């Protein structure tokens, strides 16, 4: 594995770019204005979809909704910090999972009075949904989260139509609460824009901020009979799942599963926590993030492969100083954990700002060479944005000084300058800085983006047959299939995992059947998630080469047309009602 060596275009794009740079340039070919049709936010084909009888109707941003959404976020964050619903005190001392069972060799029957027991390590979205799915089907569950609190971390999560259907099947109450708490984003246009002026008279001229591809996410959802995508604050999702997904006292914080032992013969598993506590159950689910310790043990990876997971729960505890250290450490962890560095570092924030195009656009990407800027409606007159820049792994920003008090903001203002241009002289569309300047230095978080191989890079027969499971232990979410954020499907696929895992385990009538059930779950899920992982990886690599395509006659227009035509089919695959 090569770490941090993808700072430039590679493959065919690198060859084309090199040839083009050596050719004589013509100012006349690059002169003129972009087509007027590419400046319109809401094209007719999207208007037709949004006008359908069953389509959600856009309600203009208003103060009442802003106050409600922001207030719900603040209350959920406060509840999390007060440990409401967590396992503490006397209840912790007498928790069911502390007592080893005297299960006979060969296992025991699973009944309503003596249900299957499941330990879930990781209290992010994947772990919470998995526990909710298992509890809804009569299983006894416990969640171990390594963070010291459910501190707010990251922006809102897009719960797309496929994930909403999974949650609806798990618990109608959870579904209804999430929809009520969320902001619909499927009621506007989404798409790709060029970040700065590009193109020529032969391939097409595009001014900065012109649309390249526009699509809606609603049409494919309506075709599949699915609800419209919503965006919900992460602490609110956690609060709803903790309140409605399982009994109070299910989640134990400051609890990291360091290792486990298969007891064999249908007798389950014994997990060992970092404080030496033992936990016993029939099943152990590793939902502990991309640097999963359970995955490290399950696949017998090298020492150091399990790291601190900056998940929706754990990441809130990381300050800038810790993040700098983590960036360096992660390069070493990735090499041991067999994870792929994407080639991108990511700056992210949630800006308390009403975007200038909020009534027509819910999601857009400004494309450029070596970087791109993603923004989405976060609800409550806030914009969640990500600036992805291609550079080697392990980079950190300088610490603030009197002369440079805001190093992250300074860099981003230079990278996406709308006046003097970036280092390559490209003058960006002002929308990027509109959102960047609405964020504070403290609110901007940086991390390198890693993912995994879409399919198994192994010839191990057991892993080929059961990719994410062995015996009484299984993986889900980022522990199983970390992916780039471009499709917004990371959390959605984790939600599908949780649903499917619950369904397969619900078929178990005897603990000796657990291994087969987990293997079945693994095989059902791996192909779908591998395809989506592959889409996400490919789109990241292609996005930074869109600017190159804009200058090539025939190939450029063809590439754009095929991208526009393929989007509904990609969304139809994502928004399947069965998973």
pLDDT, tens only, 368-396 = 989 999 999 999 999 999 999 999 999 99
- For residues 123 and 312, what is the distance between their CA atoms, to the nearest angstrom? 8
What pLDDT, in 10s, does the model give residues 433-448? 999 999 999 999 999 9
* Average pLDDT, rounded, for the chain: 89
Grade residue 578 by pLDDT with cuts at 50, 70 and 90: confident
Confidence (pLDDT) at 302: 85
Q: Which helix (H) or strand (E) covers residue 53, if one does?
A: none
DSSP assignments along 461-521, one per residue: HHHHHSTTEETTEEE-GGGT----GGGS-HHHHHHHHHHHHHHHHTT-SBGGGHHHHHHHH
C-beta of residue 353 within 8 angstroms of C-beta of residue 434 = yes
- For residues 407 and 395, what is the distance between their CA atoms, to the nearest angstrom? 13
Q: Please, how many CA atoms are within 13 Å of residue 465, restricted to the half-sphere of its CB?
A: 9
Taking residues 561-565, what's their average pLDDT? 89
- For residues 207 and 428, what is the distance between their CA atoms, to the nearest angstrom? 10
Taking residues 203-209, what's their average pLDDT? 89
What pLDDT, in 10s, does the model give residues 74-92? 998 888 777 777 888 889 9
Grade residue 34 by pLDDT with cuts at 50, 70 and 90: confident
User: Which residues, at least 6 apart from 292, have a Cβ–Cβ distance to it below 8 Å?
Assistant: 122, 286, 306, 309, 475, 478, 479
Backbone angles phi and psi of 60, in degrees to 5 = -55, 145
- For residues 465 and 460, what is the distance between their CA atoms, to the nearest angstrom? 9
Show the DSSP H helices in 200-291 as ranges.
Answer: 218-223, 234-244
Paired sense of beta strands 469-470 and 269-273, if any: unpaired
Confidence (pLDDT) at 318: 63
Q: Quote the percentage of the chain above a pLDDT of 90.
A: 70
C-beta of residue 91 within 8 angstroms of C-beta of residue 85 = no
Confidence (pLDDT) at 310: 43
Among 472, 471, 491, 466, smallest CA distance to 481 is for 491
Confidence (pLDDT) at 38: 93
What pLDDT, in 10s, does the model give residues 403-422? 999 999 999 999 999 999 99
- For residues 207 and 266, what is the distance between their CA atoms, to the nearest angstrom? 65
- For residues 290 and 429, what is the distance between their CA atoms, to the nearest angstrom? 34
Taking residues 419-434, what's their average pLDDT? 96
- For residues 260 and 272, what is the distance between their CA atoms, to the nearest angstrom? 6
Grade residue 98 by pLDDT with cuts at 50, 70 and 90: very high
191-205, 450-464, 481-495: range with lowest mean pLDDT: 450-464
Q: Quote the percentage of the chain above a pLDDT of 70.
A: 92
The structure tokens listed for 280 are 């016993």
29-38, 207-216, 229-238, 545-554: range with lowest mean pLDDT: 545-554
Confidence (pLDDT) at 26: 67
Among 486, 483, 482, 481, smallest CA distance to 543 is for 486
Confidence (pLDDT) at 456: 58
Among 421, 449, 443, 417, smallest CA distance to 432 is for 417
Confidence (pLDDT) at 332: 86
Beta carbons within 10 angstroms of residue 119's beta carbon: 28
Confidence (pLDDT) at 280: 98
Confidence (pLDDT) at 309: 47
pLDDT at residue 128 greater than cutoff 90? yes
- For residues 374 and 439, what is the distance between their CA atoms, to the nearest angstrom? 15
pLDDT at residue 313 greater than cutoff 50? no
Note the pTM of the prediction, 2 decimals. Answer: 0.92
Grade residue 459 by pLDDT with cuts at 50, 70 and 90: low
The structure tokens listed for 403 are 């002369």
User: Which residues, at least 6 apart from 456, have a Cβ–Cβ distance to it below 8 Å?
Assistant: 463, 464, 467
CA torsion angle 331 333 337 338 (round to 10) = 10
Confidence (pLDDT) at 11: 54
């Amino acid at each position: 594995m090569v770490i941090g060596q993808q700072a430039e275009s590679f493959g065919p794009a690198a060859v084309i770019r090199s040839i083009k740079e050596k050719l004589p340039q013509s100012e006349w070919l690059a002169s003129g204005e972009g087509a007027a049709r590419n400046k319109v936010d809401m094209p007719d084909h999207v208007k037709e979809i949004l006008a359908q009888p069953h389509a959600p109707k856009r309600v203009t941003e208003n103060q009442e909704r802003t106050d409600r959404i922001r207030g719900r976020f603040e209350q959920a964050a406060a509840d999390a910090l007060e440990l409401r619903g967590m396992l503490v005190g006397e209840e912790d001392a007498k928790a069911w999972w502390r007592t080893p069972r005297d299960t006979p060799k060969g296992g025991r029957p699973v009944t309503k009075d003596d249900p299957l027991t499941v330990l879930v390590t990781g209290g992010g979205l994947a772990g919470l949904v998995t526990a909710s799915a298992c509890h809804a089907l009569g299983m006894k569950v416990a969640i171990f989260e390594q963070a010291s609190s459910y501190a707010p971390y990251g922006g809102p999560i897009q719960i797309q139509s496929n994930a909403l259907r999974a949650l609806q099947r798990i618990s109608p109450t959870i579904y209804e609460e999430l929809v009520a708490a969320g902001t619909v984003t499927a009621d506007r246009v989404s798409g790709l824009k060029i970040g700065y002026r590009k193109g020529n008279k032969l391939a097409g001229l595009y001014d900065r901020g012109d649309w390249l591809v526009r699509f809606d996410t609603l049409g494919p959802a309506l075709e599949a009979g699915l609800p419209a995508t919503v965006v919900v604050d992460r602490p609110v999702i956690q609060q709803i799942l903790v309140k409605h997904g399982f009994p109070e006292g299910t989640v134990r914080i400051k609890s990291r599963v360091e290792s486990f032992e298969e007891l064999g013969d249908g007798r389950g598993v014994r997990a060992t926590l970092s404080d030496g506590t033992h936990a016993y159950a029939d099943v152990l689910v590793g939902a502990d993030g991309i640097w999963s310790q359970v995955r490290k043990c399950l696949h017998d990876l090298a020492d150091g492969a399990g790291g601190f997971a900056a998940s929706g729960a754990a990441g809130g505890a990381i300050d800038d100083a810790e993040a700098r250290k983590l960036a360096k450490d992660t390069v070493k962890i990735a090499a041991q954990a067999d994870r792929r560095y994407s080639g991108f570092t990511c700056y992210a924030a949630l800006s308390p700002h009403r975007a200038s195009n909020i009534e027509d656009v819910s999601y857009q990407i400004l494309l450029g060479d070596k970087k791109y800027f993603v923004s989405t409606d976060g609800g409550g007159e806030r914009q969640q944005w990500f600036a992805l820049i291609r550079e080697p792994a392990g980079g950190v920003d300088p610490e603030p000084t009197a002369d440079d008090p805001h190093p992250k903001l300074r860099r981003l203002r230079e990278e996406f300058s709308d006046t003097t241009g970036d280092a390559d002289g490209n003058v960006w569309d002002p929308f990027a800085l509109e959102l960047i300047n609405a964020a504070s230095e403290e609110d901007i978080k940086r991390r390198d983006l890693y993912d995994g191989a879409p399919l198994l890079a192994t010839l191990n027969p057991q892993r080929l047959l059961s990719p994410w499971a062995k015996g009484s232990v299984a993986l889900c979410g980022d522990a199983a299939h970390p992916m780039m954020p471009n499709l917004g499907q990371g959390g959605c696929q984790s939600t599908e995992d949780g649903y499917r895992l619950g369904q397969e385990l619900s078929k178990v009538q005897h603990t000796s059947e657990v291994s087969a059930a987990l293997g079945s779950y693994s095989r059902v899920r791996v192909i779908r998630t591998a395809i989506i992982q592959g889409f996400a990886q490919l789109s990241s690599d292609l996005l930074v080469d869109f600017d190159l395509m804009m200058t090539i006659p025939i190939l450029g227009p063809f590439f754009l047309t095929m991208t526009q035509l393929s989007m509904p089919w990609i969304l139809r695959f994502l928004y399947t009602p069965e998973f």
